[in-house]
Amino acid sequence: MPRFHIVSLFPEFFGSPLSTALMGRAREAGLVDFSFHDPRDFSTSKHRHVDDRPYGGGPGMVMQGEPLAGALRSIEKPGRILLMAPGGRPFTQNMARQIAEEEDLTIVCGRYEGIDARLLDIFPIEPTSVGDVVLNGGETAALAVVEAVSRLMPGFMGKEESGEDESFSNGLLEYPHYTRPETLEGLPVPPVLLGGDHARIAQWRRRQSV
């Protein structure tokens, strides 16, 4: 089970999501653990600045290297270090499984136009993307990684097979689900699901996944 170390300018962003539903119960039970590291705490500026204009000109600001380096070095055992960035390696279910075997995971949440690129040479940072979209910052993407990894941990889902019998676990999408009532606004449940023939149901679900 990895311990999550979140490097973010806005640690308060995580308050509600990490205290709600399954994640909240998992934290209370000690199944997941988080520490937060704000680069502003390592700024040498009187006003705790952590960004500056980019060399070479251009729009926006860039996160400075020194405060981020200080935040990363404050983590005793960082483990793998992911940087949430739209141009990074795509985050996949297989990657989530690998990370779930780690003892520690550090997630750097970028802001502005990104971080000083020299940090990628100083630390073993892995730029990682949750999709071809641009977000206000890496916090939302970090939450996606945390949730995808956490739900693979023993005990998190309650029913152990719940974490595996899902979309992407076998390289396929998950089949559609139905529940009561049997007819919803004139649309019936597929008859195969009502017959009790588990072999036929399994075949139907497999075809739907494919």
Assign residue 182 the CATH number of its domain: 1.10.1270.20
Residue 167 clears pLDDT 60, i.e. is over it: no
DSSP 173: P
Residue 159 clears pLDDT 80, i.e. is over it: no
pLDDT band at 46 (very low <50, low <70, confident <90, very high): confident
Range of the domain at 194: 175-209
Same domain, 91 and 186: no
At residue 9, the pLDDT reads 97
- Which segments of the chain are extended strands (E)? 3-7, 33-37, 51-52, 62-63, 80-90, 104-109, 125-129, 183-184, 187-188
Residue 165 clears pLDDT 70, i.e. is over it: no
Same domain, 49 and 26: yes
Instruction: Give the whole-angstrom CA distance, residue 68 versus residue 134.
Output: 21
Note the pTM of the prediction, 2 decimals: 0.88
Q: Across residues 160-186, what is the average pLDDT? A: 75
Are 69 and 122 in contact, with CB atoms under 8 Å apart?
yes
Nearest to 81 by CA among 59, 108, 112: 108
Same domain, 121 and 155: yes
> What 3-state DSSP class applies to 134?
coil
Same domain, 155 and 188: no
| pLDDT, tens only, 131-156 | 999 899 999 999 999 999 999 998 99
| pLDDT, tens only, 51-88 | 999 999 999 999 999 999 999 999 999 999 999 999 99
